[in-house]
Amino acid sequence: MKGKTILLIEDNAKVMRNNANMLKRLGVKVLLAETLNKARTHLKNTKPDAVVLDIMLPDGSGLDLLKEIRSTPDTISALPVLLLTAKRETEDILYGFSVGADDYVSKPYQQDILRARIEALIRRSEMQSSKNLPDIVNIGILRFDLVSQQVFIKSNDLLLTKKEFALLYYLAQNEGIKLTTKDLYEKVWGLPSKEDTSAVRNQMSNLKKKLNDETDEIAIETTWGSGYCMEFHKKL
């Protein structure tokens, strides 16, 4: 991560100091913000390579800032954002992903894990930007806008989160192929697989519901012990 810039948004002075020192030892330029207002000033003046964002801040919720980032019509909308927070209930984690988080780490945590997660975020972001992909990719009845990270069926926006978008794009690229939860976790999350596959299952459940509400021409089959397989069905 040497030479990268990371914005830390955290109101706990000890947590901020420890994380900043860890990143500086890796050669990272660190921007510090104890409030949402200060974070907004940093984002207005510079584009960091990643953001580590607390949720509970003195002047509001970090989730509101995350929503602002994702809705901004320029390159800042694609910033990798990791939520680092004491909120650790399943519904909190799912909601964090639903509003655009790329990863979620609950406090207390190990700094080595946090470092690995940040490195993975930056690595995925660099891989995506270096592929020189077209803006629009059509697969079956799906139209993927790779810039805005939206998916359309005809003119209807499926309103996917970033993680749902990544899941659907990977499934569509591998139509008809059985993909294990291990495959999906490693390819979409960009992290080594682990025994707990709840993140994949929860995101897949949300994705399948959105597809089912929109069309009966796409099926994501769940195979016990094997994983998932997506297929297009033509209307008769």
Give CB contacts under 8 A, 24+ apart, made by 12-20: 12/54, 15/84, 15/107, 18/111, 19/52, 19/84, 19/111, 19/114
3.40.50.2000, 2.60.40.1180, 3.40.640.10, 3.40.50.2300: CATH of 5-130: 3.40.50.2300
**pLDDT tens track for 43-98:** 999 989 999 999 999 999 999 999 999 888 766 788 899 999 999 888 888 888 88
Cα–Cα distance measured from residue 34 to residue 16, given in angstroms and rounded to the nearest whole number: 9
Collapsing DSSP to helix, strand or coil, 151 comes out as: strand
Q: Which residues of 164-173 are buried (b: 16+ CB within 10 A; e: fewer)?
A: bbbbbbebbe
Same-fold call for 5-130 versus 136-232: no
* Structure token digits, residue 89: 């209930």
pLDDT-based confidence at residue 141 (cuts at 50, 70, 90): very high
Q: Which CATH topology does 136-232 take?
A: Arc Repressor Mutant, subunit A (1.10.10)
What pLDDT is attached to residue 224? 72
Domain boundaries, the chain: 5-130, 136-232
- 184-199 confidence digits (pLDDT tens): 888 887 766 665 677 8
For the entire predicted model, the pTM comes to: 0.63
Residue 71 in tokens: 């809705």
